[in-house]
Structure 1
């Protein structure tokens, strides 16, 4: 009571002019700041500062008050409301202050705090779009602030936002940047207490991001460090419990979770959800369910309209439990509630409805997971009751999950984050396709097969498709040339730093380079956010592009092309075939046997010994019978096979499969490959003489050797580039810079050189130019930044250019994919180490056939057949010498003349013949001597 009375007396003194003359505005402002900045703030000091700041902003003559004082007063009122948990009041105050932002003569830096704090407030309200907008506005002003502490707070907040939206790779960059700004060098024990707590927070955030990325060992390493800090041990135990649960070690997870003793921690959403997930993984369904339902009863919000995305996980776990108990109706209900809580804007209680506003939100992965769970529950309900409404709802909910994932992915600003998202969603695509296939007999089979193929191809190479699409949009969406040049400069800078890191051994220099790399990546991220300020670019890139299979059939595939699309399920493969008229599907049932044959085939190639004779009837023959045997009759109608592989089939050269004991598939078909139907387009072939051509042979008579690599001579490489009949760059002329100069000019480029893949880090794979040192290596991360949209073909006659790490959704992540990302429509690359002489032979014959007018696919096939039919090259007839070359490319463009029936050609020739005779008799020169 004493404190309350004292406060009222003070208020009275400020309000009553008879007690005391009203102080001027500046005096009030100084007093308000004094209370606000109190060394030991209390409810009293906060109340006094609120009272004084409120009087300032509500003064009758507010228009005469210094705008800087008004803006700061609104900001302080917002912060005090935030401290007291009045989030909506905080937003209102911050917005009032930001209304002055466009007034002249007010420094922009004054609005940094309001943008930062309102962004953080919107995060607490679960409004992702607004939070991201204001935090990015604050980021634009950070260069005007000379405060590492404020910058660190901003970057940490952005890290949280990127984390919550599922862009975990970028969140690590922001957390790292935030840490580097304020944490001094030196051992942890030497830090001041404030910096110890700050370092704990940053490392905890980074560890959580690594955990989400599935890098559990790296996360464990960080949490082991944090255990030694002796700070917030309960948080560390919770994180360790999460990691061990993800590693499928529920007993270890429970051990760490039960070490937590604080009641406020035990009674939190996080703890109860973790405990339920552990019980669920142990099969203790009733125990998991009872704990969560009791927790919900005790923490139920008094206002059912208020959503909390943290509760979304609770309802999702209840959905999983109900599904495991075959209680599919309740499972669907729980998942629906999870969607409402997680989305934040979707409030439809009708279980048959789904979100339609695909805005960027928090807990993206959790939202997609709940949608998929709801879809699976609907399908189970259909199976038990045959209610068609359940079937339609299940299919529609799957599609909503895929649409939301695609929309969110379009706003991610790096390939790694998109690949991770694509791999995550692939499991849902597999479930959805499995659902369609297993129900195809009870529904319109053609419709279901078409939908299945559409989902199959939508699941493949989503990141590559988005990246290529954005590269095209940047050129036509009104983004200024200066910003595009800035992007190229930053990408070049990032590449240079990455190269420097590879050769730097000094720890201090490495730390500096890593810090610079983080800075450049964040600067590039901010630039990409600026691109989103251009409406046409933003609207076009966020359009969800569905696959129009009818268009592919009618406008891309020609009558001589059969498309083969493979799709890996848990226990088997599906093979879809599509031509201009129909879509069909066959199943490759025994996946384990198929995997064994693939391994046997690859072992036979990799384990090849010089002089070893090819033995027919082995793995190559068995693979043909198992994979292609069921469609052999169908394939006979086509000259060209366009193959879209998946899973364990991604790096298999089908042309080396044996139709019979003595006949390879290449004898009947030209075969090319593509990453997804989404990337298919027809390609117009020019006359070979019209192409601008450039060939590079840096190791024709040059060698390079250092402590890391040995690059021998490639004596036949000069023969390869000479067969191109274009500009040739040999030895010291074949530099990286000459290649970069040629990229924007040449239609066809031949690289006859060395390449080294890096399955651990595909971005560090490289192609080598003269002389062979670090500066002459073209890394994959540099290739991604090239512009090859105007090129026609790049022939990578180098070892393992189509080899790298395997992504479930993207396929092989290597050099070949990088050239596709750069826009090159046709790439010939290698699956394994190439033999110089045989590859030179095929290359020479390839260009000869292109010069004759054949398509790239036909030319490559004929070049390989030339080798197989040339007895002088008999020692190179083993598939190891020719099957390594594969074409990833476009479908040959259909011409009108392809469709003319044979009799029309004959009729046309007859008319031409009669026309010639008529012309000769009518206009022949007469002999006047007779």
Structure 2
């Protein structure tokens, strides 16, 4: 019985095994188990007939009858279908061709060429997604990986392609891997892999030249043009020898590119024409598209823009059929560049944005389109937006080893510096590029670099050197027949000649250019040429002729939305009318120029440095109109104009802070700003504007409904007549204005406005300022020099003279007031009015301070960048929650500091050029702890905890922020130093660009550190430093220092300041009392107490005070006695 059961079990097992075996065998015959599981398939061996037919169909001119005859000889159905698919592809019957190949996919043929054709046809037929789904869960094999990598590559996902192919060893996957690395800009890896391909690819194969040409392209991209030419020539000869017309055409196209680079445009176009004919003969649509594209490029070199565009459009049409994203991206960049040349900026933006979408991960294509967008926005004077695109292009170019792309990106950055009125910075950038490309034989790159350098030299008044550079650049342009630069360079050369007062030579040059520029469609150059003719006549006092040219310049510039030229044309028209005594017309044109300046500044990128530096070059209309009003005794109008340009960027950013603090959606805000800019730019059609307006309305509705924010938040232009009523009783605002000769003071009180012209001239006042202390001599205050009390050498006699010049003439009008808020011109922006000496006896020593009386003794003093900012800060609602953040005693060594500091995007010099020293802050901890003892609800970050990361994590909800740390000025850029740990992501240095992102809700920020009130000095904005940045981050008021102060005495001073602040005094009064206390109890030398100044709102702060120790001590003592008594009673009870 047992035996029977065993036999039965064995029989069942054997039967099951047989059934499973049969099922597997059956499944394999019908295709359910395919070759996909085989990791090492043997490559297909084609018949000789098919191999010959494949080569003819892909690389040669063929006869239809011969092809049909050859195809009929094929016996293998797969070979027959493959050949028919290649024939259909030549005839652009892509869907039919794809279906023929797709039906063989189930067997996953072991031939890489099959997948090359399949993927290309799938992309063209919009079947690539279906193809991806079919292979999504297939087991890995060399061919499936290759298929997946091809799909990834053609869709721009090069990193996926690299991942799939990184371990392959066959030639075709290696070639695709090389191309993937090339697309991401890693030419070194791409070169190593192509060398591996060349070693294993059979030299007798007629396609071997393809590998040679591919390597040549790597050299070309790396800027090694001579090596590239040798390889292209070798590839061309091999292709010709093997009758490989496809590779012959490719080699010709690449050799033509080199001819264009070398200025041999005629030879290049001959080669391209031959290549195009070859591509047509072999019916290769992709090769035709490439030939058209490069022919378009060649026509741009010869200045034939219309022909260039026609060829680009043909190429774009063909590549669109092929769904070739990489080529479409590059074509978009080329077409966009043509639109820029003809000032069709809306079309250019569309083209470049489309190019970015096509580019995917292709680094070079992204750089081309990013730089193109930068050029568009730079032409439209939106330098903030341009800077974003240029920096992104620069970052990408630094990752790749493409000399030309890196150089072009850096030239774009240099050009931006030039447009932002930083010619010195621009020139240093151009010189750096010149060093990097030394030996490069690219005439177009050299003409551009010489031209841009000439512009910078011109603005630096190195006019002779600039003229030499212009003429060298022009010589290259004429040699290579670059029509656009043949018109552009002499236009700016004419400006150079005007500055040299060579008016006749300049006018001869310009008159010869205008018609040529008009014929070639360079309308923006026509506007510029008329502008320079107008300026030349203005300087020769031919005002009537000047106005005629300037009117033409104005109208022409307006037609192409060239705001910079239009602004300058209106400005010079105003000057002409003023010189003719037609003051109403002069005022009209000044106002029109100002209106255009403000319109062109409406970009909401809000890059402070870019916007401020740009405005510095456009301030003349404001200044001239202000002086015009002053001469006409129009003091209210003059003051209104001063308010429009003084601290205008700070005011604008504070105004925008209302939106940014209310709407917690950065993408929505960015889109809002972009749409507003586009509507304001006047580069879109009526229908496009209507569409944009609908989008803007939708965003504004979202502001109202979702965020309860009024989209009509922007303040109207300032008017003194409506603003005076907002000044509180007991406050007076003193605003000073310097022009080239005179000094004016404006006294603003509640419902009262009094202008006063002072007796001292600007030069006289500045001479007194220099006498007050060596720190004010030649901008030493912005240098690295450290001044102790002796080197500071405060001269009280000079301080008295400054008082008599600035304050004494106004004393009668402000004597009843308690608080003065100063709005100072840039020349006085780092001079604290507190240390002005109100009385001086000629028998006294200027350097003995004990018996001196200072302005701070008579008045509570604070500062504001402008009256507009003062009002805005007063109205700013703040949630006073009583929370305090105290930071101090950062732990950092000198070596850590030197190694890790880096500069900002605009000012990118390295730290090694400086020699800053870190002194230990022995009293910083004590300062923070003492302040903490006075205040309750204080978060304290000391020593190792005083890191940038922890500061940023804790700062957002604090009403009061106190920083007792190091601060320095590097390249005029201030930064604050924090402790730094190895694990920290941040570098430990808080710069102004990082401060503005903090989103504060603070009543007061106190920067108890050296020179925290300094930074770049701007002619209209004043100090671009931490005070401005903390304002724009959301702080209502800021206390900063104007020079180095010993940290021991700073500790004493701050303890006193917080004592008065905690007792309910206003910020300005607490600061005043602290200064007076220090003066009486420590030192009367202003070096110690005058450095710290308050800017912004001067009201009091409501926060909880800590219980004073004199109260704490008895409370603690009584509590201990009670505790002792209770314990004693309890213990006694137990004993009983």
Q: What is the TM-score normalised by the length of structure 1?
A: 0.70
Residues 180 and 393 of structure 1: is their aligned pair in 2 closer, same or farther, counting only changes over 3 Å? closer
Q: Give 2:867's match in structure 1, choosing from 677, 690, 705.
A: 677
Deviations 1:762-810 (A, max 9, x none): 15x114358899855434333222011x221112222221122212222
**Out of 879, 891, 897, which is 2:1086 matched to?**
879
**3-state SS of paired residue (1:886):** strand
Rounded to whole Å, the distance in 1 between the matches of 2:670 and 2:519 is 49
Answer whether contact 1:688 1:850 (CA < 8 A) is retained.
no
> Following the alignment from structure 2 to structure 1, what is the Cα–Cα distance between the partners of residues 93 and 349?
31
The separation in 2 between residues aligned to 1:687 and 1:246, in whole angstroms, is 45
Aligned to 2:306: 85
Contact 2:330 / 2:355 at 8 angstroms: preserved in 1?
yes
Secondary structure, aligned partner of 2:1064: coil
- Report if the CA contact (8 A) 1:748-1:793 is conserved: yes
Q: Secondary structure at the match of 2:998?
A: coil
Give the conservation status (yes or no) of the 8 Å contact 1:575–1:585. yes
Match of 1:659 among 813, 838, 842: 838
Q: Give the CA deviation at 1:664.
A: 1.3
Aligned to 1:479: 665
Contact 2:931/2:1058 (8 A) holds in 1? no
**SS state of the match for residue 160, structure 1?**
helix
Please, which of 1085, 1092, 1097 is the counterpart of residue 890 of structure 1?
Answer: 1097
Q: 2:772 touches 2:794 (CA, 8 Å); kept in 1?
A: no
Between the aligned partners of 2:338 and 2:632, the Cα distance in structure 1 is 48
Residues 720 and 840 of structure 1 are in contact (CA less than 8 Å); yes or no, is this contact kept in structure 2?
Answer: no
Distance of 1:840 and 1:423 partners within structure 2? 39
Query: Is the contact made by 2:668 and 2:699 (CA closer than 8 Å) also made in structure 1?
Result: no
Deviation digits for residues 106-157 of structure 1, max 9, x if unmatched?
9999985786566445324313244224423443554xx3433422321232
**Residue 625 of structure 1 corresponds to which residue in structure 2?**
804
Q: 1:465 matched to which residue of 2?
A: 651
- Tell me, in whole angstroms, the C-alpha distance in 1 between the residues paired with 2:994 and 2:881: 29
Q: Out of 724, 745, 748, which is 1:553 matched to? A: 724
Residues 133 and 463 of structure 1, relative CA distance in 2, 3 Å threshold: farther
Q: Distance between the aligned counterparts of 1:723 and 1:335, measured in 2?
A: 66
Partner of 1:406: 601
Equivalent residue of 2:773, what SS? helix
Please show how residues 600-639 of structure 1 align to structure 2 within 5 Å: 600-603=771-774, 617-639=796-818
Aligned 8 A contact 1:755 1:766 in 2 = yes
Aligned to 1:596: 767
Deviations 1:442-466 (CA, angstroms, capped at 9, x unpaired):
xxxxxx3222222212222333334
1:131 pairs with 343, 348, 373, which one?
348
Partner in structure 2 of residue 697 of structure 1: 888
Residue correspondence of structure 1 range 38-117 to structure 2 within 5 A: 39=253, 40-42=271-273, 45=276, 85=306, 116=333
1:783-794 correspondence to structure 2 within 5 Å: 783-788=995-1000, 790-794=1001-1005
**TM-score (ref. length: structure 2):** 0.58
The match for 2:609 is: 416
- Does the 8 Å contact 1:647/1:808 carry over to 2? yes
Tell me if the contact between 2:299 and 2:307 (Cα under 8 Å) persists in the aligned partners.
Answer: yes
Alpha-carbon shift at residue 288 of structure 1 (Å): 1.7
Equivalent residues of 1:695, 1:726 under 8 A apart: no
Q: CA deviation at 1:830?
A: 1.1
SS in 1 for 2:306: coil
* 1:554-612 C-alpha deviation (Å, 9 max, x unpaired): 23x11222122233323344332222223333345422222222222232798976589
Query: How far 1:828 moved relative to its partner?
Result: 1.1
Q: Is the 8 A contact 2:382 2:600 kept in 1?
A: no
**1:745 maps to 2:745:** no
Matches within 5 A, 1:485-524: none
Look up the match of 2:461.
248
Contact persistence 2:534–2:547 (CA under 8 A): yes
C-alpha contact (below 8 Å) 1:799/1:831 kept by paired residues:
yes
For residues 381-423 of structure 1, give each alpha carbon's deviation from its aligned partner in whole angstroms, at most 9, with x where no partner exists.
3x1xx4x65244234323323323432xx24452221121122
Between 1 and 2, higher relative CO (CA 8 Å, sep ≥ 6) is seen in 1
Contact 2:1027 2:1038 in 1 (8 A): yes
Q: Tell me which structure has the larger Cα radius of gyration.
A: 2
| CA pair 678-769 structure 1, distance change in 2 beyond 3 A | farther
* Unpaired runs of at least 5, structure 2: 1-63, 65-86, 98-123, 125-244, 254-270, 674-694, 704-709, 841-851, 899-917, 1102-1136
- Which residue in 2 is equivalent to 1:369? 568
Instruction: Say whether 1:160 aligns with 2:375.
Output: yes
| 1:341 pairs with 2:556 | yes
* Aligned counterpart, 1:434: 627
Q: Is the 8 A contact 1:693 1:748 kept in 2?
A: yes
Is it true that 1:650 corresponds to 2:829 in the alignment?
A: yes
**Match runs of 1:262-273 below 5 Å:** 262=478, 264=481, 268-273=486-491
Counterpart CA distance in 1 for 2:892 and 2:353 is 50
In structure 1, C-alpha distance between the alignment counterparts of 2:1068 and 2:716, rounded to whole Å: 28
1:480–1:239 Cα change, 3 Å: closer
Return the offset for 1:837.
Answer: 4.5
Inter-partner Cα distance in structure 2 for 1:730 and 1:432 = 51
For residues 624-667 of structure 1, give each alpha carbon's deviation from its aligned partner in whole angstroms, at most 9, with x where no partner exists.
Answer: 11122221211213211111222220011111112222321112
1:451 aligns with 2:637: yes
Gap change, CA 1:279 and 1:315, over 3 Å in 2 = same
**Structure 1 equivalent of residue 501 of structure 2:** 283
Q: What does 1:318-397 align with in structure 2 at a 5 Å threshold?
A: 318-345=533-560, 361=561, 363-381=562-580, 383=581, 386=582, 389-397=584-592
CA deviation digits over 1:14-64, x for unaligned, max 9? xxxxxxxxx989824789x99998944439959998xx99xx9xxxxxxxx
C-alpha deviation, 1:619, in angstroms: 1.6
Is this contact kept in 1: 2:356–2:369, CA < 8 A?
yes
Distance (whole Å) between structure 1 residues aligned to residue 876 and residue 454 of structure 2: 59
- The answer to whether the 8 Å contact 2:576/2:586 transfers is no
Stretch deviating more after TM superposition (598-607 or 88-97): 88-97
Contact 2:517 2:526 in 1 (8 A): no
Cα distance change, pair 890–532 in 1 and its aligned pair in 2 (3 A): farther
Distance 1:97 1:379 in 2: 59
Aligned to 1:921: none
Q: Output the CA distance in 2 between the equivalents of 1:621 and 1:553.
A: 31
Distance 1:171 1:364 in 2: 16
- Residue 510 of structure 1 corresponds to which residue in structure 2? none
Secondary structure of the residue that 2:1074 maps to in structure 1? helix
Note if 1:756 corresponds to 2:967.
Answer: yes
CA–CA separation in structure 1 for the residues paired with 2:1057 and 2:838:
24
Match of 2:3 in 1: none
Task: Give SS of 2:619's match.
Answer: helix
Q: Is the 8 A contact 2:550 2:573 kept in 1?
A: yes
Asked whether the equivalents of residues 769 and 798 of structure 2 are also in contact (C-alpha less than 8 Å), the reply is: yes
Alignment of 1:112-191 (within 5 A): 116=333, 119-140=336-357, 142=359, 145-166=360-381, 171=386, 174=389, 178=393
Closer, same or farther: CA 405–565 of 1 in aligned 2, 3 Å: farther
In 1, are the aligned partners of 2:296 and 2:309 still within 8 Å (CA)?
Answer: no
Q: Is there any run of 5+ residues in structure 1 with no aligned partner, and where?
A: 1-12, 14-22, 57-67, 187-194, 346-360, 441-447, 488-530, 895-930
Task: Describe the shift of the 1:29–1:333 C-alpha distance in structure 2 as closer, same or farther (beyond 3 A).
Answer: farther
Q: Secondary structure at the match of 1:757?
A: strand
Measure, in 1, the Cα distance between the counterparts of 2:347 and 2:661: 28
1:906-925 matched pairs, under 5 angstroms = none
**Contact 1:759–1:805 under 8 Å retained in 2:** no
Q: Secondary structure at the match of 1:584?
A: strand
User: d(CA) in 2 for partners of 1:86 and 1:234?
Assistant: 23
Query: Aligned partners of 1:163 and 1:372: how far apart in 2?
Result: 21
Q: Secondary structure at the match of 2:751?
A: coil
The equivalent of 2:749 in structure 1 is 579
